[in-house]
Structure 1
């Protein structure tokens, strides 16, 4: 499952968010990012997609569970709470202030993340299919049909 040249071009210079494509909470997170990413920087792919799996393998995260939120940015892969905080920082404005939570030790941040992740389907539901992006943002989804 190597990443093809078209995917490399689509992600060049863009942070990539990998999310659980059937998780209601994760889909809401993507829907939260889209309108706040005024520069259109972020690209998205479901963890379950071929592209998502290829990126996980490339960054040594092939054993990542579906509850892992991943941000690939500038040649580094960030997971769980660190990924979420870095996304907020990239959104800019008041959202970037939340990056200050990075001073909380990662085990504590990831514990809270884990509680939410373990209960995400029960709390937010599970979709039958991955998020279908609208035509205005479809090009930002790497695993679009």
Structure 2
């Protein structure tokens, strides 16, 4: 029977870096589910008919004529970034090479798999185009310079030492971040599709890898 659990994320958080209380409780269940065996995490998500922005998470996939478009288990420590940006892609490669214990996962902003993370954080794609997103865990997310330094904190030494820069005032850090972000296409260039398609060996670290592979097949 597929009626074990239903929770609805009905509103965006009122301030960044924290989810709303209802979102937090939903995320706590979903993130804890991801630490169990995959066999026990067979939940599916569906768009509420006529519900607009709401999402329902259920433990099992229900029979429906509507396609399932969202994953049910939202993973911790996921970086959602501009997948067509050369500078962003270089940063992702650097993190993957430094992250020997595979703590950080990635998702291209341009993929459908990014949508539940954006919705749960109350963000849209334009927000993340300006400042990339790091979903650290249930109830916590970060953007811009804080996101970058939080990612660094999960890396082994000496890279984790970069997180000590969190003591600097956030407006100062973000001013530098925003200046580079606004000029990144002009300085470093961009592609039409997620650049990871050109380096498929990186895909094991991407939660949207199946979608990326399917795009690659369609292009071939």
TM-score by length of 2: 0.59
Q: Distance in 2 between matches of 1:53 and 1:105?
A: 30
2:182 — aligned with what? 118
- Pick the aligned partner of 2:143 from 42, 60, 79: 79
1:15 corresponds to: 77
Partner of 1:134: 200
Question: Where does the alignment leave 5 or more consecutive residues of structure 1 unmatched?
Answer: none
> Hey, what's the Cα distance between the residues in 2 that align with 1:58 and 1:91?
25
Output the CA distance in 2 between the equivalents of 1:81 and 1:92. 19
How far apart, in 2, do the equivalents of 1:93 and 1:50 lie? Answer: 34
Query: Secondary structure of 1:107's match?
Result: helix
Structure with higher RCO (Cα < 8 A, 6+ apart): 1
Aligned Cα RMSD in Å? Answer: 1.7
| Paired residue secondary structure (1:58) | helix
1:70 alignment partner in structure 2 = 133
Aligned residues: 139
TM-score by length of 1: 0.87
Give structure 2 stretches of 5+ with no counterpart.
Answer: 1-46, 48-54, 56-69, 214-220
